[in-house]
Structure 1
């Protein structure tokens, strides 16, 4: 089983950190840490060579060739899939994507 290299752009990392910071501000320290760990673990599993992903249904992102995958039904991970690597571009609320 081969894995592609995972590259997380700064904007996606900042989005995950902002969500984690919000959870910490609500006094949910353990939840914030678990959310961050789970999000990065999920992104790491995107690198499996055996899986392919479909283009986003959002017309704007789809026309640019981005691929989308839901995370916990509330968030969407937007990325570019290449043969040797996956570049995670956005980590956004699913409500922010207009299907």
Structure 2
């Protein structure tokens, strides 16, 4: 079983940090830490070579060659899938993707 390298762009990392910061500001310190840990664990599992992912349903992102996968039904992870690498570009609310 091989794994591809998973690279996370700064914009995706900032989105995860922003969500975590919001949870902390609401007084949910343990929840904020658990959310960030779980999100990064999920992103690291995207590198499994045995899996392939479908293109985004959003026409703009599909034209750019992005792949999308839902995370906890509320968020969408947008990434580029290469043979040797996964590049995570966006971590956004699913509501913000229009199709």
Per-residue CA deviation, residues 8-54 of structure 1 (Å, 9 max, x unaligned), is: 00000000000000000000000000000000000000000000001
Query: Where in structure 2 are the equivalents of 1:60-99 lying within 5 Å?
Result: 60-99=60-99
Alpha-carbon deviation of 1:77?
0.2
User: Which residue number in structure 2 is paired with residue 23 of structure 1?
Assistant: 23
Find out whether 1:37 has 2:9 as its counterpart: no
Per-residue CA deviation, residues 72-98 of structure 1 (Å, 9 max, x unaligned), is: 000000000000000000000000001
How many equivalent pairs are there?
Answer: 99
List structure 1 runs of 4+ shifted beyond 6 angstroms.
none
RMSD: 0.3
TM-score (norm 1): 0.99
SS at match of 2:52: coil
Structure 1's unaligned 5+ residue stretches are none
SS at match of 2:83: coil
**C-alpha separation between the residues in 2 aligned to 1:82 and 1:7?**
11
Structure 2's unaligned 5+ residue stretches are none
TM-score (norm 2): 0.99
**C-alpha separation between the residues in 1 aligned to 2:21 and 2:85?**
29
